[in-house]
């Protein structure tokens, strides 16, 4: 029997912003599929959500760096649910060294290995996974794709000396998010005229393993933008770059 609630697949969903996104969508009645590299941790996260009253949740082992996992998740979602309503490309890494409480620039010191590894996870994997799941998103009455970007992907803000991020340049990470934003713009144009909306999300500076303890936002606040974009109404925006409903400059 086809699933009656909306189905969301979230990568990197066993902790941090991904888990908060799952929690937010689960509270809205979505069926939530948690993608996690560590299957045990994914199941623990699913159990935690169930204990909070979110009944329709499952965890699957999924690693964005394993191309074979893309078709595997597509087959799994199609077999169990018949379609996919929401894809949240949440998984990401930051390998640059830098303290966001201070000024820094890694452009001169970043290695080819760090660039390649960062782009593999933050950009190439997102493109390939989205392409693999687009047929299932097309089956949904109103598909939504949310790409977890960052304000650090904004070339406008990085080139503005008055911007708060002007002196904080993690080159590999920033460039991967700029590329991800380009994917958002290009895919949204290709899907123009369909019921699928594609947007980039800046979650804010959040107290996660990546964000660190100096971040001003609690983990509980980190999933709000993703949830907003995942649950947009049919007249909502597409091809945009947002933080809590506010547009960011590319």
Report the SS3 class of residue 192: coil
Segment holding 148, helix H or strand E = strand 144-148
Q: What does each C-alpha distance from 98 to 70, 103, 170, 206 come to in angstroms?
A: 32, 8, 7, 16
Structural tokens at position 62: 């999924």
Name 87's bridge partners.
9, 145
Q: How far is it, in rounded angstroms, from Cα 154 to Cα 161?
A: 13
Contact criterion met (CB below 8 Å) for 13 and 37: no
Question: Which is catalytic among the residues 30, 81, 173, 241?
Answer: 173
166 a catalytic residue: no
User: DSSP state, 120?
Assistant: I
Beta-carbon contacts of 168 under 8 Å, excluding residues fewer than 6 positions away, are 98, 100, 103, 104, 152
Show which residues are catalytic: 173
């Amino acid at each position: 029997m086809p699933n009656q609630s909306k189905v969301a697949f979230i990568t990197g969903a066993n902790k941090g912003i991904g888990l908060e996104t799952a929690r937010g969508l689960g509270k809205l009645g979505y069926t939530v599929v948690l993608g996690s590299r560590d299957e045990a941790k994914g199941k623990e996260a699913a159990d935690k959500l169930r204990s909070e009253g979110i009944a329709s949740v499952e965890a699957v082992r999924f690693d964005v760096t394993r191309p074979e996992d893309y078709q595997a998740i597509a087959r799994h979602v199609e077999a169990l649910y018949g379609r996919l309503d929401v894809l949240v490309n949440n998984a990401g890494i930051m390998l640059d060294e830098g303290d966001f409480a201070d000024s820094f620039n890694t452009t001169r010191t970043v290695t080819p290995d760090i660039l390649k590894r960062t782009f593999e996870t933050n950009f190439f994997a997102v493109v390939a996974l989205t392409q693999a799941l687009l047929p299932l998103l097309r089956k949904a009455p109103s598909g939504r794709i949310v790409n977890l970007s960052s304000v650090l992907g904004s070339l406008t803000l990085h080139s503005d000396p008055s911007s708060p991020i002007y002196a904080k340049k993690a080159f590999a990470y920033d460039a991967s998010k700029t590329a991800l934003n380009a994917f958002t713009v290009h895919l949204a144009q290709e899907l123009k005229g369909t019921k699928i909306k594609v947007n980039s999300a800046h979650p804010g500076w959040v107290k996660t393993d990546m964000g660190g303890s100096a971040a001003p936002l609690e983990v509980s606040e980190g999933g709000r933008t993703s949830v907003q974009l995942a649950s947009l109404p049919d007249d909502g925006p597409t091809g945009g770059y947002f933080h809590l409903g506010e547009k960011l400059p590319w």
